[in-house]
Structure 1
């Protein structure tokens, strides 16, 4: 899909952290994302997360496909792995959004990071930034909404969603690391 992203405009931005305990050397966010089962994804945002999957884009770039509700919008995200390592992933999606007024698109940048605080004490950092597309700007104009109104609504709904999912993502990543450490030790 091709769209003109307005990276000069921020539709929403949220950074949420959660502390967990897990062996830092066994954390692997990239592998966790590529193997995340749909039901675990659903547990990470009960009621909001609908489905997750893994595929590749036409050029072979790994992709995470996520379907979720954010506020009143059903969002279908096709995240390309732009940077993928054990402790940090930067995912970028041109996302389709079904709103009560119809379909539109936004760009979503999802950054997942983990840092070691001390020993096995870790901090997961979930950062989500959204930019409008030209289509989105035309779409909201057609519904009589200003960009400021749309951004305020998206900031609130996306912020609430990030607050919900972040501690669950942290727990899931930690459990994955603990299981990997146990498998290696066995």
Structure 2
């Protein structure tokens, strides 16, 4: 019950875009995620991104493991691939969060999309939505914080984080696609 996700409540929601020049047909976000090295992940949000890895869950579902700072919280995300396509991925994680007051959990939904604009101009959209768990609501209540206060703080921190990482993700995906198309050409 404690980790039941309250999808009726939005803790934070950020949608940030970045335009890049890349061959749309060479883009494969799912393959990029599955091969994203830790140091490249760190370059996408310097100081905030700590580690990235790829694994599978017990049932064989591909997973991206990400460790990052969002505001004052160290977030350990275990993203399960719900959609893994070349131009769209949807990842869902029940994430552990270490705050200055202790551990809690939230659900994070990460959507990555690349759209062709014209020629080789593409738009990357990074969407991150977080929902509280029952455990999170109990945790903030014990700290004397309302959901509105917690959501405001998380929205600010997550929004700022997404504004930093989105253009860097777009550039990383474009570099990966260009290097891949050069090798296969």
TM-score (norm 1): 0.98
How far the C-alpha of 1:122 sits from its partner, in A, is 0.3
Tell me the equivalent position of 1:30: 30
1:47 and 1:7 map into 2 onto residues whose CA distance is 30
TM-score (norm 2): 0.99
Tell me the equivalent position of 2:80: 80
1:109 and 1:92 map into 2 onto residues whose CA distance is 5
SS at match of 1:151: helix
Deviations 1:92-146 (A, max 9, x none): 0000000000000000000000000001100000000000000000000000000
Tell me the equivalent position of 1:61: 61
Tell me the equivalent position of 1:9: 9
Tell me the equivalent position of 2:20: 20
Q: How many residues end up aligned between the 2 structures?
A: 184
1:1-186, aligned counterparts within 5 Å?
A: 3-185=3-185
1:55 and 1:181 map into 2 onto residues whose CA distance is 25
Extract unaligned runs of 5+ from structure 1: none
How far the C-alpha of 1:184 sits from its partner, in A, is 1.3
Alignment RMSD: 0.7
2:91 and 2:148 map into 1 onto residues whose CA distance is 25
How far the C-alpha of 1:180 sits from its partner, in A, is 1.0
Extract unaligned runs of 5+ from structure 2: none
How far the C-alpha of 1:181 sits from its partner, in A, is 1.1
How far the C-alpha of 1:30 sits from its partner, in A, is 0.0
Deviations 1:27-83 (A, max 9, x none): 000000000000000000000000000000111000000000000000000000000
How far the C-alpha of 1:3 sits from its partner, in A, is 1.8
SS at match of 2:176: helix
**Which consecutive aligned stretches of 4+ in structure 1 deviate over 4 angstroms post-superposition?**
none
1:67 and 1:107 map into 2 onto residues whose CA distance is 14
How far the C-alpha of 1:158 sits from its partner, in A, is 0.3
